[in-house]
Amino acid sequence: MKFNTSPRVIVMMTIFFLIVSAPSVLAQGSPDFNDNVDDSGAAAPIDMFIYLGIAAGSLYGIKKIKK
């Protein structure tokens, strides 16, 4: 069986995966989360550069697949 690995199909599959997985990533806790958690530690600085890294990695991967 041969799979269609054109760049257009890969981009569409990536976009589909990101859209489908977004609700679970953005979920705010779980039903068994207790309010008695010690939150005194420093928070991890997560910013918009993650999306830039994902986009750059995707473009790099597509470029490598085209070769």
How many CB atoms lie under 10 A from the CB of residue 20?
9
In this prediction the pTM is: 0.35
Share of the chain above pLDDT 90, in %: 16
Q: Write the DSSP symbol of residue 41.
A: S
Predicted pLDDT at 40: 72
Distance, in Å, from the CA atom of 48 to the CA atom of 30, rounded to the nearest integer, reads 24
Which range, 9-18, 26-35, 42-51, has the best average confidence (pLDDT)? 9-18
Q: Write the DSSP symbol of residue 35.
A: S
Q: Categorize the per-residue pLDDT at 39 as very low, low, confident or very high, splitting at 50, 70 and 90.
A: low
pLDDT at 12 over 70: yes
Q: Write the DSSP symbol of residue 43.
A: P
- What does the CA dihedral 30, 36, 41, 43 come to, rounded to 10 degrees? 30
